[in-house]
Amino acid sequence: MSAQERIIQTDLRNEMSRSYLEYAMSVIVGRALPDARDGLKPVHRRILYAMYELGLTPDRPFRKCARVVGEVLGKYHPHGDTAVYDALVRMAQDFSMRSPLIDGHGNFGSIDNDPPAAMRYTESRLKPLTTDGLLQDIEAETVDFSDNFDGSQQEPTVLPARLPQLLLNGSSGIAVGMATNIPPHNPTELIAGVIALIHNPEISDRELMRHIPGPDFPTGGQVLGSAGIRDAYLTGKGSITMRGVATIDTIEAPGRPVRDAIIITELPYQTNKAALIERIAEMVNEKRLEGISDIRDESDRDGMRIVIELKRDAYPQVVLNNLYKQTPLQSNFSANMLALVDGEPVLLTLKRSLEVFLDFRIETIERRTRYELRKAEERDHLLQGLLIALGNLDAIIELIRRSADAPRAKQELIDVYGLSEVQSDAILQMQLRRLTALEAEKIEQEHQDLQRRIEDYRDILARRERVLEIIETELEQLQQRFQEPRRTTLLEADGELETIDLIANEKSILLLTQQGYIKRMPVNEFTAQSRGTRGKAGAKTKDDDSVEHFLTCCDHDNILFFSDRGVVYNLPAYRIPAASRNARGVPIVQLLPIPREERITSIVPVSAFSDDEYLVMLTQGGYIKKTALSAFANIRSNGLIAIALSEGDQLRWVRLAKPEDSILIGSRKGMTIHFRASHDDLRPLGRATRGVRAMSLRSGDTLISMDVLPASLTANMTETGDEDEADDAVEVVASPGPWVLVVTAQGLGKRVPVHQFRLQKRAGLGLRAIKFRSKQDELVSLRIVESGDELVMISQRSVIIRQASDAIPQQSRAATGVRVQRLDADDVLAAVALVPPGEEELDETSEDAIASDEPN
């Protein structure tokens, strides 16, 4: 076996490891990751340098992209032409690059992911930012050059960037075992950040964020929250939430009703507009997006405009939130700031990336200064020789004339006058016109100027602060030329959408039956009806079941459920299943961990757990207490103790109140007491306390209702003790309100002016609120109402009626009331609730709603 055919034995594992590492480093260094100094990958750097060599500067005509691609392939980049052309196209797209580096002429693609025209059709040249900010001084020995792939050409290993291009336009790439994804930034902010680093090398990343608050994407949009930005800048990795810009507007078209519409004018970075529209259309067709009737693209050369028309009953903000949640209209940019530093991949923080650029810029200025110093010294050396010749003009002319040839004349000049070879050649090549007095003066002036420049260059190289001053000056010049306003808006809001953001905040009715079935229904299912009518069925209940709790709320409210044992549970309203009027509902034990022996006795909707509101609790035994609402902001899943109860007592009523408000409590036999909720009359207590006596009751009477009167309505009332009821039958004069709505079990009701219920001390007997028509009747509810309020009443057999409070007449405390709901013989009125404020106009109104009263 010959030496050429000899088999070399080696360990396969070692060979695979070595070969793979060589391949991985080749991809990492030579293809996928940008250099932290100029922010460019090799293919981008080669394209820009090839265009510079072709003379495609901003002041020159465009050239075909095919010419550029051919130049790059033939000289520097031995890969496919598609890869080179794709890289060239991207550097010309204003929706891909924050500051495009190439000026494109022709079809270079679009944000709809339309492909660019073939390279034989498109043309290109360099942008002013590229020549001034990346390529300037490249011929002044500022960077190293290396051989190209075949050793026939020299190419720069890095460009002498004057701007932190790595952060300016960002970068993305996938290497072997690692990847980079750096967001683009605003050039003005980057320059301000570099200048701040020059002034204070010890500046922290957080202080730098005052100058560079976040990414600035070329497509604009919004960035939500600062947590992802902070993580990316402090650690090199972070998830930045991007969101498109959308507004809710109304659109009008001839022959069509006015409709709400969502107008999208900006998209998140790297979002395909056509794909987004297609995605939305698919989700609408699949019933995964509700409330959209039409979508169209009205974008033109003036800007982007996507119009999403909504259905008449849609809630625009809810539809928009669902678009954010389910479509690329909101997406995340996973920042991974990986770049090459000294040929090795390094994860960079914000400060470290600027430090690498600044160190490179210092090196570039020093190399440029040394180059200019050398050129100035070489030129001055020549001028010094010419000045010697001018000073000895006659003798040198004579020397040259008597010399046999040029080499001998050159040698004699060196020997006689001590000149160098360069100086001797310059003297021998000097034209006769340089011997005039004017030319001699110019040579002397140029020599003096060069001496000053040489001194200045040496001073720059000797003092670092001079180098930093030059960098700052050049940055400020670039800032003035290429200053741009920020396109992306930074918002403090968190980008994470909760479930509640995807649900309309509609007005709803909650029903809880005696056997524990609960359901939620929209208020607008029940239109306003005339007083005294029967109403509509609100729930399908068993013969032995009846409605026990009934209230109105908004779907975004937190619903506090209070049990007879004094335990409170919390459940968002939208989590209660919506059901039709004829549905029975779901067992509440499926929603809350309520023990079998425990029963819900009061339900309170809460929109916000504010510090200036209190929960007023009243027990069946007549004990009342006031506890701060904020104490119930964090309720455990298995409930929280709300009140301490005596043996045999039960928690029955809970209402929201402020210290300035007053409280009305009614008994089954029609007695009502009215006292203040101030800290003097009812001091705040903790959760695990019992409370104080609320009202004294006559034999056989029990408490039946409680409501809160706002403070603004009690300003002119006087406080008295119990008085004789002889004056109770005084006729009432029409009052502007507010009133106490008094409703009985047999469907009778009236509005009594609040001032007829005098303020008293707590624990008194109170005053009579109504005179019953029959001994079988009893008080069901006391509610504070104002003009324009709407009521929803329900019977034990779940018949619901909705009517305006103004339809119920004003009467005195001693009156018997009028018919407010017509009930079946075996049915009685169970509860009354107010429609939340802000509800839409009544669907049905009629004069019958304010018809003449029935006789008392």
> What residues act catalytically?
121
Instruction: Return d(Cα 666, Cα 704) in angstroms, integer.
Output: 6
Contact 304, 273 (CB under 8 A): yes
Query: Residue 577: what residue type?
Result: P
| Residue ranges in 575-716 assigned as alpha helix (H) | none
Strand 829-834 and strand 671-676: the pairing is unpaired
Q: How far apart are CA 597 and CA 192, in angstroms?
A: 69
For residue 675, CA distances in Å to 596, 716, 753 come to 36, 14, 16
- Produce one character per residue of 168-177: b if its CB has 16 or more CB atoms within 10 Å, e if not: bbbbebebee
Per the CB < 8 A criterion, the answer to whether 125 and 57 are in contact is: yes
Tell me: cis bond preceding 215? Omega within 30 of 0 counts: no
Compute CA 767 distance to the chain's CA centroid, rounded to the nearest angstrom.
56
Q: Are 664 and 673 in contact (CB under 8 A)?
A: yes
Order the strands of the 790-795 sheet from edge to edge.
536-537, 799-804, 790-795, 829-834
What's the rounded Cα separation, in Å, for the pair 774 and 744? 11
Taking alpha carbons only, the member of 238, 220, 241 closest to residue 230 is 238
Strand residue runs (E) in 680-828 = 692-693, 703-709, 739-744, 748-753, 767-768, 779-785, 790-795, 799-804, 818-819
Give the tokens for residue 104.
């494109």
Please tell me the total number of residues recorded for the chain in this structure. 856
CB 635 within 8 A of CB 679: no
Are β-strands 671-676 and 662-667 bridged in parallel, bridged antiparallel, or unpaired? antiparallel
Query: Which segments within 52-93 are labelled E, that is strand?
Result: 63-64
Closest CA to 579 of 535, 534, 540, 527: 540
Hey, what's the torsion of the CAs at 576, 581, 586, 591, to 10 degrees?
A: 10
* CB burial of residue 286 (10 Å; 0-12, 13-18, 19+): exposed
- In eight-state DSSP terms, residue 525 is G
Task: Pull the structure tokens for residue 855.
Answer: 């006789």
Contacts of 430 (CB under 8 A, 6+ apart): 386, 389
